[in-house]
């Protein structure tokens, strides 16, 4: 499974967060609408993500529910026919939620910066420090996340422990 270190927080001003991305030299990647359908599993989480524009991917992940930066282990499986995959999954798994969001992605070093407007929940910023193999320097990634937390003015009260689907 792939690994990253991630942190999620409520965001009072997405325009200000986007300005911070530009000030830090983060690279704009894209803006997309994402619909995530979550399914009950015995452990971890499973969701089908459909992007507009773009394709679809099945995401299996395991991550503790804690507000601080934490490790996530995940597997991505491309899906060619999302409607068929959704119907198949819904027959074998209970659908536990659906999350619709507008996501803007920036990158800075090994960190993906997500600026999310989530329907019914509000605005969020999420950092994911991608670790490409076991030899990656996790300590350096955690330091970069701490720096970004300060640069974006994120306070402990802003931090989120759970998935959007749990909110």
Residue 167 inside a domain? The answer is no
| DSSP code per residue over 89-138 | HHHHS-EEEEEEEEEEEEEETTEEEEEEEETTTEEEEEEEEEE-STTS-H
For residue 28, what is the domain's CATH number? Answer: 2.40.320.10
95: domain range? Answer: 2-162
Residue by residue, pLDDT tens for the chain (167 residues) are 899 999 999 999 999 999 999 999 999 999 999 999 999 999 999 999 999 988 999 999 999 999 999 999 999 999 999 999 999 999 999 999 999 999 999 999 999 999 999 999 999 999 999 998 766 688 899 999 999 999 999 999 999 999 999 99
Residue 21 inside a domain? The answer is yes
Give the pLDDT confidence score for residue 21 in this predicted structure: 98
CA 36 to chain centre: 11
- CB-CB contact of 145 with 69 (8 Å): yes
Cis peptide leading into residue 53 (ω within 30°): yes
């Amino acid at each position: 499974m792939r690994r990253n270190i991630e942190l999620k927080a409520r965001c009072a001003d997405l325009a200000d967060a986007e300005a911070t991305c530009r000030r830090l030299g983060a690279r704009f990647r894209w803006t997309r609408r994402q619909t995530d359908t979550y399914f009950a599993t015995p452990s971890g989480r499973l969701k089908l993500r459909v992007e507009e524009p773009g394709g679809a991917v099945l995401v299996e992940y395991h991550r503790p529910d804690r507000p601080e930066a934490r490790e996530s282990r995940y597997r991505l499986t491309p899906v060619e026919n999302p409607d068929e995959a959704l119907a198949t999954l819904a027959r074998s798994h209970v659908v536990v939620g659906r999350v619709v969001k507008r996501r803007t992605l920036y990158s800075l070093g090994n960190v993906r910066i997500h600026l999310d407007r989530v329907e019914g929940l509000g605005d969020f910023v999420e950092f994911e420090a991608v670790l490409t193999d076991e030899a990656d320097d996790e300590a350096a990634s955690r330091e970069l996340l701490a720096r970004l937390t300060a640069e974006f003015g994120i306070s402990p009260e802003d931090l989120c422990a759970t998935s959007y689907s749990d909110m």
